[in-house]
Amino acid sequence: MISKDMTINEILRRYPQTLPVFERHGLDCFDCQIADFEQLEHGATVHKVDLPLLLAELNKIIS
């Protein structure tokens, strides 16, 4: 299960199928150097993305 405390890069490494979800929400984090350190919650906040919706979509795609 993906949580808000996981780093973006950790999510993408473990679950590469989540990339389209990030892209749909305007998060091109796979190219960002901070993705290794930035937690999902922080990235969503900075980019004004609905965190509960993002988490729901990410977890749906990995199930």
Q: Is residue 53 in a domain?
A: yes
Q: Is residue 22 in a domain?
A: yes
Sign of CA dihedral 59, 42, 50, 32: negative
pTM here is 0.89
Q: Is residue 1 in a domain?
A: no
Return the pLDDT at 27.
86
Instruction: Please give the tally of structural domains in the chain.
Output: 1
> How many DSSP H helices and E strands does the chain contain?
4, 0
Q: Is residue 57 in a domain?
A: yes
Q: Is residue 31 in a domain?
A: yes
Return the pLDDT at 13.
93
Across the chain, mean pLDDT equals 91
What is the residue range of 13's domain?
8-62
Q: Please, what is the end-to-end C-alpha distance for the chain in angstroms?
A: 8
